[in-house]
Structure 1
Amino acid sequence: MSIPHRPAHLAAAIFLAGSGLCAGLAHAEPREPQSAAEAGNPALPKVVVTAQRRQEAAQDIGAAISVIGGDELKEKGVSTVNDLQHATPSLEIEPAFGSGQPQFRLRGIGFIDYTSNNSSSVGVSVDDVAFALPIQTQGLLFDIDRVEVLRGPQGTLYGRNTTGGTVNFISHRPTRDLEAGIDAEYGSWNAWSTEGFVSGSLADNLRGRLSFITDQGGAWQKNRETGQELGDKDKLALRGQLEWDISDTLDAHLTLQHAYDKSEGQGLRLFEDYNQAGRHIGADSKRRHTGWSLRPEFAAAAGVSGGAKPHVDNTNSSASLAFNWHLDGNLLLTSISAYNELRRRELGDWDATAYADSDEYFDDRVSSFTQELRLGSDEKQRLNWVSGLYYSQDRLNEKFNSDFGDRLGFMTRTSYVQKVKTVGAFGQLDYAFNDRLKGILGLRQEYEKRSLDDYFSGFIDGTQFDGSNVNPFPQHTSFSNNGTSGKLALEYQLSPASLLYASFSRGYKSGGYTAHNSGNVLALEAFEPESVNAFEVGFKSDLSDNLRLNGALFYYGYHDQQVLSTVWSPQSSSLVGTFVNAPRSRIVGGELELLWQPLHGLEIQQYLGYKKGKYTEDFFTPDSAKTVAAGTEVYDNNKGDELSFPKLSYGGSIAYTWPVAEFDLRAETNFSYRGQYKQLLLLGSDYNLDPYWLVNANLSLTPRNGNWSAGIWARNLLDKEYDLTRNFFLPGTSVAAAGEPRSVGLRVSYRY
């Protein structure tokens, strides 16, 4: 059911009820429900974060940070990193062709690629351990205490450098007292999940925690021709933690995690008619419809079983060991060692038909080792500082096969080994000139070496390479980058509950390789690093005991922006897809976040984000149609053209808890809006994404002195039809990854 006008009316009602202001919310840790019978005035929660490498209230930090608690993630239906884009302003996460390769963008800063080898402009970490590649972020989120979304360049406090921002997930830690819990959900499409934990002391100075999650079912798509279902999940993740107080000044924290994902993949839909080689398929009128096929020859070449559906077969294992040593002189020395190993096997049908137009199979092995060493002041004082050294070594073995047998008459295979070594030195200090004014200075220097070995992209004859390439590829190529980034900021405490800040920061992202299946040596020409000069002013204010309003304005000067485009190849007389650097561009925008608790039991949250950008210097790219027609390069100048991302993001929630006999009844609804997404540079207006609203709802019942709860939930309550991304792999095959339709379900929880 699609209701075209009601979402706008609902949003207006929520907006007026929430604040009467064009404002957004500061996400906060959910507090324990309060009954209306309680006396006194409601108090805003104090949200404690570790975004600056020490515990402090988020309201005391002069930076744009959104914090979402673990229970709030469940209410908003955030079970993977991708879902987070509907819970915070200015964040977009696109699944490349509906696959497991996410494409992050924060405040318009992002990197869009379907292969696995390049780092993201937006960092993702779990418990201070950052992921090297976006594909490593696709596990289930479970046993999470909170997530901290930091907007703007990061690097003077963090081991891994980012230009767009950082998303930090912080899991629950082991407890001294024995605790246990289990949550179970069952919903539409026969989907169910179970999450649980047990935590407590194993000895006087040793604590442990074991947690798990499993996710099953949920096939909401159908083959348009056969009616066969697609989309059942089969996921399991386990995490074990040990916390050891070695002495009064030294403690250690060990985390081991293993996960597998054997789920069916998401199918794409045709949003335009398919007419190729005398074959016709009408555009899919229902977003649940999709199509797929697997030729026996391609199955044999890829090493998968014949007749397989689009699916993944991934395993992910990680280990981290952290030491905190409190030294004499009020110093804290921290060491974090981590290792992650991912095996990705993913079969996708990117043409969404029963024909071999562009079927893809990825077989990746990723291994990452990181070592971070930090030394800094131990307790908050007039001068606070932290310094650090960071080292990482990453290796990616990628092999992906493509089947164009029915369209072009051949299959291809691309394979290579990429190695990356990164060394960084960073530090930041803040100094309180007086009780109100604080200055902040940060600096980072980074060196990275990136190499590509044994690169091959060629045709397959049956199950073997036939050795055909447009150009021979070098067996080894490498480059290195040196980058400097930093931060300069002032914070002014206007009153005990109001903070003003202004900052300049420079973000830096290294270059890389376009590792696509082009069969052309031009693809191996490295693109250059990019940098962002970010200016930001903002405020944080508790306007009263029950009203909080935060805001920020930013201006980004983008230098050598890494953009997917094409270049002309004289050898093959064709266009080759590759990343290029746009000399200059800029992004301006801002966010507002609101939290209001007008009376006991009622909490209203809202956020608003707006951004726009454009190329500000000459930036020439080939005009595809004119170039092909002329047989030589014909260029367009993109100076003045808009950058491709949604300009507007808006959302929030309303929750009310009231007493019913011996129980507390909580009703909650959350909503989000994403503006139009224009595909301006490479794809064109046919691939624009329409704006859309999403609304979720929850109703739960909890005994006031009990240890269980039960409830019902609805996601995409208004059954909005929308697309997450639109693209094509070969011209004439226009596909989209549809968003999930309405689903409803039950949730029960028990705590000991």
Structure 2
Amino acid sequence: MTTPSRRTPRPHALAAATILALSPALAAAQDSATTLDAVQVTAQRKVENIREVPVSITSIDAEKLDVLGSGGTDIRFLSARVPSLNIESSYGRAFPRFYIRGLGNTDFDLNASQPVSLVYDDVVQENPLLKGFPVFDIAQVEVLRGPQGTLFGRNTPAGVVKFDSVRPAQETSGYAQVAYGSDAMFNFEGAVGGALGGNWSGRVSALYQRRDDWVDNTYAAGANDGFEGYDESAARLQLLYEGEGFEALFNLHRRDLNGTARLFRANIIEPGSNRFVAGFDRDKVAVDGINFSDLEAWGGSARLRWDFGDLSLHSITGYETLESLNRGDIDGGYGAVFLPDSGPGLIPFASESADGIPDHKQVSQELRLESDYGGRFDWQAGLFWYREDLTIDSFNYDSLAPGNPLAGHAVQEQENTAWAVFASGEFAASERLRLRAGVRYTQDEKDFSARVLEAAPFGAPVGGPYTVATDVDDVSWDASAVYTVSDAVNLYARVAKGFRAPSIQGRLLFASAAAPNGGVSTADSEKVISYEAGIKADLWDRRARLGFNLFRYEVSDQQLIAVGGGANIATLLNADKTLGQGAELDLEAWLAEGLLLTWGSSYNDTQIDDPNLAVAICGGGCTITDPTTTIAGGTYALIDGNSLPQAPEWIHNLTLRYGVPVGEGEFYAYTDWAYRSAVNFFLYESPEFRGRSSLEGGLRVGYGWGGGDYDLAVFGRNITDQTRIVGGIDFNNLTGFINEPRTWGVEFRYAF
């Protein structure tokens, strides 16, 4: 056993030390002639200075998005890039799972709801596969922390991640960007827009990304030779009409993805620890299953606004649909222990499965009336309606038979209808004090049915339909105050209540024949009360900007998912209570002429508070550190006091950009770093399934000229080539999946 050196500081201590070390530079920022532009956000459904909004918000601008996405990575590149935000996936590029302040959902079912809502161009993206739409031609991303149930609705108890595309304009503008890098990575994105005649303007944007496989399959009889490659394209068309007192913005978008599903690797975790086994080679696997990820998604929206002087009426209509199929080798190896040949390590039995959505549609409609009296009081109120129809196919395959034939098929179908009425108001109680409050009533219905059409080995027999219906209503609300200390400093406090509608889980193929209702499980509504208080300030004549807040929340009946375990079936649960508390910091400052710093930090302490809640443990190989109990002859872990899964205590992120004039242009260097502390993969605690802390960095060095029209740069992502286990499969053996490798490339951009 190795004893850590006493001289090794903890990462959060390093963060504090870094801030202290930067203090002289921050003070010196007063001598810089460069100032920060005001940040405008739409967190309250209208354009406001970020300092005036009583919500913990981080805004990410277009340049930073471009740098972070240089390597062709998917939306997960935002993980740990803002305080309290973690993103992970067991599907690869197709199905990101978001966590804010530790609240999220590790469920891998295609019917899973998440407590973090993703809103793209004012339309909620409810299904988890819709949440991974590529990031390109984006004006701004806003991360809103804490319940947002009044203005954004149900399923937002943790917060909202909000994307806003670059809008069309009468002026001709656009860009083209091409990059090439390691593993034959090729990225293209571009946009062009301008006047179309009369009051119309338009903008078309497109993205294409590809990368070769970088992992070899050493199993000679494997169906795939290599893994981790992808081929992805997306496009967006926008048309804008601007008339007298009327505006209409139409949006059509599409995404096509063909690549590798998440690559699972058998027995890569050293028993009793969270480290790789000796000899681990991330460039090689040995699997006998078929692996692919196919996704097609498209949608459209119409955003209309009528201006009646001191009142405006907004209508937002959205439509989304998708088809998908993801197939993978779940056991992460080949063969089985009862055969002459198997590996790597112990493979108790083969497991190969796929999940897909053959039929899906989502329709949403919002009508919102907003006042602009120019006085002490303004308000907004509206109606919202939502409908989703969804069919999910779940397949099992026999990896041990020639051709990997079908060996199990189950179908889930769900209809979800929700509607809401909401109102929010703001009142200037004095010259320094502004008060806000809002309320929303929501009604949510789900009708669910599941059937086993072909039984999987050792699973539930053919049967069904197994049905569940839920019908709930709830009232969400928020109240806040902003106190102006000076022209540059605001204090705020906020209390908010949010809720998540019931969830239904129907992964039936491996359910016991005696399981109630065929193995369908339901989690009741969860409700959260959150408190936060903070300060937002412009410092040193707008050469620096600070946001800091403290928060505490309590979740009643939190929805949790007991994923996998020895029985290989996911089960929905409600925890009696979950507690969370912490702090968040956002800082941006010009340290010197040409040197810009951004720094973000968060501390999140989460705890499950339910003395009687027990979950199934791993199928073998792991070390359970929780107390255990026996239920119906099986061993279960008592998880009272555990932190939430995928909830890092600490997140720190740093960017530094230095630019200096050279010739007719600017030479610049941009580095970014993101740290997250260790996380549990599952509800129970086990050293094998606790991901180690992670620190990933990026670098971009380039030269821009022509007034910013031209840019040529070299870039690197994960430049230290850090390799980490970021998730696990616990029903079979010590199987895990890992992060993206180091990538390098060169990029050219032309803007006009």
628-637 vs 346-355, which deviates more? 628-637
Measured in 1, the distance between the counterparts of 2:428 and 2:747 equals: 48
Q: Which amino acid aligns with 1:609?
A: S
Change (3 A) 1:206 1:98: closer
Measured in 1, the distance between the counterparts of 2:563 and 2:83 equals: 31
2:269 matches 1:289: no
Counterpart pick for 1:389 among 369, 383, 391: 383
Check the 8 A contact 1:675/1:690 in 2, yes or no: yes
Partner deviation per Cα, 1:436-489 (whole Å, 9 max, x = no partner): 10111111111111011243365159xxxx9x8459534543111111111011
Partner deviation per Cα, 1:627-662 (whole Å, 9 max, x = no partner): 998753666543333333211101111110001122
Query: Matches of residues 494-513 of structure 1 in structure 2 within 5 Å?
Result: 494-513=485-504
2:545 matches 1:548: yes
- Matched with 1:262 is 258
2:69 matches 1:68: no
- Matched with 1:336 is 316
- Matched with 2:245 is 249
Partner deviation per Cα, 1:333-359 (whole Å, 9 max, x = no partner): 000111111101112222221347221
542-551 vs 376-385, which deviates more? 376-385
- Matched with 1:613 is 606
- Matched with 1:351 is 331
Partner deviation per Cα, 1:186-214 (whole Å, 9 max, x = no partner): 11110011111110000130000011010
Change (3 A) 1:148 1:627: closer
Measured in 2, the distance between the counterparts of 1:451 and 1:9 equals: 49
Query: Matches of residues 560-639 of structure 1 in structure 2 within 5 Å?
Result: 560-565=557-562, 577-622=570-615, 624=617, 631-632=632-633, 637-639=638-640
Change (3 A) 1:8 1:199: farther
2:367 matches 1:373: yes
Measured in 2, the distance between the counterparts of 1:604 and 1:566 equals: 40
- TM-score, L = length of structure 1: 0.87
- CA RMSD in angstroms comes to 3.3
Measured in 1, the distance between the counterparts of 2:392 and 2:176 equals: 38
- Matched with 2:51 is 59
Query: Matches of residues 734-745 of structure 1 in structure 2 within 5 Å?
Result: 734-745=734-745
Other structure's SS at 1:584 match: strand
2:663 matches 1:661: yes
Check the 8 A contact 1:548/1:595 in 2, yes or no: yes
Partner deviation per Cα, 1:197-245 (whole Å, 9 max, x = no partner): 1100001300000110100124222224459332222111111110012
- TM-score, L = length of structure 2: 0.87
Other structure's SS at 1:657 match: strand
Other structure's SS at 2:668 match: strand
Check the 8 A contact 1:664/1:701 in 2, yes or no: yes
Counterpart pick for 1:451 among 433, 447, 450: 447
- Matched with 2:302 is 321
Counterpart pick for 1:148 among 139, 142, 146: 142
- Matched with 1:278 is none
Measured in 2, the distance between the counterparts of 1:107 and 1:198 equals: 38
Check the 8 A contact 2:411/2:453 in 1, yes or no: yes
Measured in 1, the distance between the counterparts of 2:723 and 2:564 equals: 36
2:522 matches 1:526: yes
Measured in 2, the distance between the counterparts of 1:683 and 1:400 equals: 29
Change (3 A) 1:13 1:524: closer
Change (3 A) 1:726 1:129: same
Change (3 A) 1:225 1:458: closer
Change (3 A) 1:261 1:379: farther
Aligned length: 704
Q: CA deviation at 1:290?
A: 2.7
- Matched with 1:360 is 353
Query: Matches of residues 709-720 of structure 1 in structure 2 within 5 Å?
Result: 709-720=711-722
Q: CA deviation at 1:619?
A: 3.0
Partner deviation per Cα, 1:603-645 (whole Å, 9 max, x = no partner): 0111111111212343331565899987536665433333332
Counterpart pick for 1:183 among 171, 177, 188: 177
Partner deviation per Cα, 1:706-733 (whole Å, 9 max, x = no partner): 62110000101111111221232x332x
Change (3 A) 1:22 1:502: farther
Partner deviation per Cα, 1:381-400 (whole Å, 9 max, x = no partner): 42121111111110111001
User: Where in structure 1 are there 5+ consecutive unaligned residues?
Assistant: 26-35, 276-280, 295-308
Q: CA deviation at 1:168?
A: 0.4
- Matched with 1:298 is none
315-324 vs 44-53, which deviates more? 44-53
Other structure's SS at 2:680 match: coil
Check the 8 A contact 1:185/1:748 in 2, yes or no: yes
Q: CA deviation at 1:406?
A: 4.7
Other structure's SS at 1:82 match: helix
Query: Matches of residues 693-732 of structure 1 in structure 2 within 5 Å?
Result: 693-705=695-707, 707-728=709-730, 730-732=731-733
Other structure's SS at 2:679 match: coil
Check the 8 A contact 1:326/1:378 in 2, yes or no: no
445-454 vs 503-512, which deviates more? 445-454
Partner deviation per Cα, 1:362-392 (whole Å, 9 max, x = no partner): 2203210000110111365421211111111
Check the 8 A contact 1:421/1:450 in 2, yes or no: yes
470-479 vs 686-695, which deviates more? 470-479
Q: Which amino acid aligns with 1:663?
A: G
Measured in 2, the distance between the counterparts of 1:709 and 1:567 equals: 48
Q: CA deviation at 1:175?
A: 1.6
- Matched with 1:83 is 77
Change (3 A) 1:493 1:578: same
Other structure's SS at 2:555 match: strand
2:225 matches 1:228: yes
Partner deviation per Cα, 1:388-417 (whole Å, 9 max, x = no partner): 111111011100112366599993222121
Check the 8 A contact 2:245/2:307 in 1, yes or no: yes
User: Where in structure 2 are there 5+ consecutive unaligned residues?
Assistant: 336-348, 619-626
2:188 matches 1:194: yes
Partner deviation per Cα, 1:157-196 (whole Å, 9 max, x = no partner): 1255411000000000112111231001111110011111
Q: Which amino acid aligns with 1:590?
A: A
Q: CA deviation at 1:129?
A: 0.6
Change (3 A) 1:492 1:131: same
2:469 matches 1:478: yes
Measured in 1, the distance between the counterparts of 2:436 and 2:350 equals: 55
Measured in 2, the distance between the counterparts of 1:216 and 1:662 equals: 34
Q: CA deviation at 1:9?
A: 11
Q: Which amino acid aligns with 2:732?
A: P
Measured in 2, the distance between the counterparts of 1:12 and 1:95 equals: 29
Measured in 2, the distance between the counterparts of 1:698 and 1:352 equals: 35
Q: CA deviation at 1:272?
A: 3.7
Measured in 1, the distance between the counterparts of 2:313 and 2:489 equals: 32
Measured in 2, the distance between the counterparts of 1:91 and 1:345 equals: 28
- Matched with 2:749 is 749
Q: Which amino acid aligns with 2:216?
A: K
The share of aligned pairs that are identical, in percent, is 25
Check the 8 A contact 1:159/1:372 in 2, yes or no: no
- Matched with 2:237 is 240
Check the 8 A contact 1:18/1:605 in 2, yes or no: no
Change (3 A) 1:7 1:348: farther
- Matched with 2:674 is 672
Change (3 A) 1:12 1:559: closer
Q: CA deviation at 1:585?
A: 1.8
- Matched with 2:344 is none
Q: CA deviation at 1:493?
A: 0.8
